Amino acid sequence: METTGVLMTNPMSSYLEGELEKRFKLFKLWHYPSMADFLRENANSVKAVVGDTKIGADAQLIDSLPRLEMVASYSVGLDKIDLRKCEQKGIRVTNTPDVLTDDVADLAIGLMLAVLRRLCVCDGFVRSGSWKKGDFRLTTKFSGKSVGIVGLGRIGSAIAKRAQAFGCKISYFSRSEKPCTDYKYYSNIMDLASNCEVLVVACALTKETHHIINREVINALGPKGILINIGRGRHIDEPELVSALMEGRLGGAGLDVFEKEPDVPEELFGLENVVLLPHVGSDSLETGQAMADLVIQNLEAYSLKKPLLTPVI
Ligand SMILES: O=CC(=O)O
């Protein structure tokens, strides 16, 4: 693939851009006035697409690139790639699992602590000088809470391990019961939500898990329950979440992802029981570099006809 074209869909990592430029003919989609302008001149030059959580490779892009052979995603999530289309056309797909697991799991725990102990509100309390007028009110303990995890894959398991170290009782919901864990398994999400105090969404976004957190699940979690989402915004029916928080039917939420990010429902901005992050689960310098290296290694392996490091298709 040395002389062939790689299309980056979005600015995702300047390190990755630099490394791709050294090895391939790199096209940066955002440097063109429109997709149509890019395609008019370059559609036949692109053999690989590097996408991310914002712009991946949808059916339209895939169909517009007649020589496309590979999609290498700078993400673990695959929801922005039309996998069925790739499969039909024999296009290989890779992602960046494992290297980001620790960061995302760390952030999930951070959100639990931040929501329950009101860390962001406390920070504002100190900065605004309010502390001089009196102490901050009491908050809620995290250690020992029962934590329910939706999706016990790599990230879900890493969250479970961390929460266990805080003395939390772990339960989970997934399509099937996992062997070799002593966590309690629930075969339906309503039972999980009814039996935990903190519910964490850590599954992949698929047709089946779209809006897996709906009004009923939120009500089952209840007015003392905390919802944490480090998955995808579309796992949650966001208007239902907003109304549950506004009406006090849910105790709080820690959200790294949103249905229409970067647009976040403004009703959430005034709520002290909510912590809002700009989809930064895996965004540490160390992990960003490891993800970029994995993208490059997959592209190089493909060009040398070697086995892909992290193949999806
Ligand atoms: O959201 C982050 C990822 O999918 O890598």
Which tens digit of pLDDT belongs to each residue from 177-213?
Answer: 999 889 999 999 999 999 999 999 999 999 999 999 9
User: Is 202 domain-assigned?
Assistant: yes
- Ligand 1 atom nearest the C-alpha of 77 is 4
Ligand 1 site, residue 75, Cβ cutoff 6 A: yes
User: Is 107 domain-assigned?
Assistant: yes
The tokens describing 6, both together, are: 């790689």
Specify whether 88 is located in the same domain as 134: no
pLDDT score, position 11: 97
pLDDT score, position 3: 65
Specify whether 173 is located in the same domain as 83: no
Q: Whose CA is nearest to atom 4 of ligand 1?
A: 77
Ligand 1 site, residue 51, Cβ cutoff 6 A: no
Name the percent of the chain lying above pLDDT 90: 98
Domain hosting 219: range is 100-276
Report the distance separating Cα 312 and Cα 101, nearest Å.
Answer: 17
Ligand 1 site, residue 156, Cβ cutoff 6 A: no
Query: Hey, which of 50, 71, 76 would you mutate to test ligand 1's pocket, going by the most ligand atoms within 8 Å of its Cβ?
Result: 76
Ligand 1 site, residue 100, Cβ cutoff 6 A: yes
Contact 145, 94 (CB under 8 A): no
**Confidence band (pLDDT; 50, 70, 90) for 4?**
confident
Eight-class DSSP state of 303: H
- Model pLDDT for residues 88-107, shown as the tens digit of each residue: 999 999 999 999 999 999 99
Q: Whose CA is nearest to atom 5 of ligand 1?
A: 75
The tokens describing 84, both together, are: 């069925």
Specify whether 139 is located in the same domain as 48: no
Specify whether 227 is located in the same domain as 105: yes
Specify whether 31 is located in the same domain as 91: yes
Active site residues per annotation: 232, 261, 279
Specify whether 127 is located in the same domain as 240: yes
Specify whether 122 is located in the same domain as 264: yes
User: Is 261 domain-assigned?
Assistant: yes
- Distant-in-sequence, close-in-space partners of 291: CB < 8 Å, separation ≥ 6: 13, 16, 74, 75, 96, 99, 100, 282
User: Is 132 domain-assigned?
Assistant: yes
Q: Whose CA is nearest to atom 3 of ligand 1?
A: 75
- Model pLDDT for residues 24-52, shown as the tens digit of each residue: 999 999 999 999 999 999 999 999 999 99
pLDDT score, position 181: 87
Measured at the CA of 75, the angle between CA 71 and CA 77, to 5 degrees, comes to 95
Specify whether 210 is located in the same domain as 137: yes
In the predicted model, what is the mean pLDDT of residues 212-232? 98
pLDDT score, position 195: 98
Ligand 1 site, residue 217, Cβ cutoff 6 A: no
Ligand 1 site, residue 281, Cβ cutoff 6 A: yes
Specify whether 43 is located in the same domain as 109: no
User: Is 240 domain-assigned?
Assistant: yes
Specify whether 88 is located in the same domain as 194: no
- Model pLDDT for residues 267-282, shown as the tens digit of each residue: 999 999 999 999 999 9
The tokens describing 253, both together, are: 């939420």
Query: Hey, which of 100, 201, 257 would you mutate to test ligand 1's pocket, going by the most ligand atoms within 8 Å of its Cβ?
Result: 100
pLDDT score, position 226: 98
In the predicted model, what is the mean pLDDT of residues 152-158? 98
User: Is 192 domain-assigned?
Assistant: yes
pLDDT score, position 180: 81
> What's the number of domains the chain is made of?
2
Ligand 1 site, residue 158, Cβ cutoff 6 A: no
Residue found by looking up tokens 């001149």 in the block: 41
Strand partners, 307: none
Determine the length of the chain. Answer: 313
User: Is 310 domain-assigned?
Assistant: no
Report the distance separating Cα 29 and Cα 34, nearest Å.
Answer: 8
Query: Hey, which of 277, 280, 282 would you mutate to test ligand 1's pocket, going by the most ligand atoms within 8 Å of its Cβ?
Result: 282
Residue found by looking up tokens 């997709």 in the block: 35
Specify whether 114 is located in the same domain as 257: yes
pLDDT value at 1 more than 50 = no
Q: How many helices (H) and strands (E) does the chain have?
A: 11, 12
Sort strands 46-51 and 5-8 into parallel, antiparallel or unpaired.
Answer: parallel
The tokens describing 134, both together, are: 């009196």
Name the percent of the chain lying above pLDDT 70: 99
The CATH code of the domain that includes 189 is: 3.40.50.720
Specify whether 52 is located in the same domain as 75: yes
pLDDT score, position 58: 98
- Ligand 1 atom nearest the C-alpha of 232 is 1
Q: Residue 275: which of 114, 95, 153 has the closest Cα?
A: 114
Ligand 1 site, residue 229, Cβ cutoff 6 A: no
